[in-house]
């Protein structure tokens, strides 16, 4: 469930949405020009458990794994797409392409 998505979500850089995956696992995002822009997200319980995909190595400027932000953005985009169209499919992950 995406909090705040009532009716038709609009591209409004001032409006903040939240997607809760489970306790201590969530993201906050905005919809800008129809695209999801991640503002903040949690990266709990990843330490040493998951390896970086070969196509998305390293950490971002905030110290978080680059692939985890991509994965969270993908899930937020999927939640938005499902809100607009219940038959929408999850977008592909960049590490699955090629």
- This prediction's pTM: 0.75
Q: Check whether 1 has a pLDDT greater than 50.
A: no
Q: Quick one: tokens of 24?
A: 């201590």
Render pLDDT for 16-68 as a digit per residue (tens, 0 to 9): 888 888 888 889 988 888 888 998 998 865 555 677 888 888 888 988 888 88
pLDDT on residue 87: 93
More confident residue, 72 or 5: 72
pLDDT on residue 95: 77
Q: Quick one: tokens of 54?
A: 């070969």
Q: What is the DSSP string of 24-63?
A: TEEEEEEEETTEEEEEEE--TT-TTTSPPPTTS-SB-TTS
Rounded-to-integer distance, Cα 3 and Cα 11, Å:
15
């Amino acid at each position: 469930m995406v909090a705040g998505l009532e009716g038709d979500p609009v591209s409004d850089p001032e409006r903040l949405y939240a997607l809760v995956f489970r306790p201590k696992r969530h993201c906050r995002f905005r919809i800008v020009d129809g695209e999801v822009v991640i503002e903040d997200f949690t990266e709990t319980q990843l330490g040493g458990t998951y390896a970086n995909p070969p196509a998305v190595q390293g950490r971002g400027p905030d110290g978080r794994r680059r692939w985890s932000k991509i994965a969270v953005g993908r899930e937020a985009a999927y939640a938005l797409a499902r809100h607009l169209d219940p038959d929408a499919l999850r977008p592909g992950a960049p590490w699955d392409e090629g």
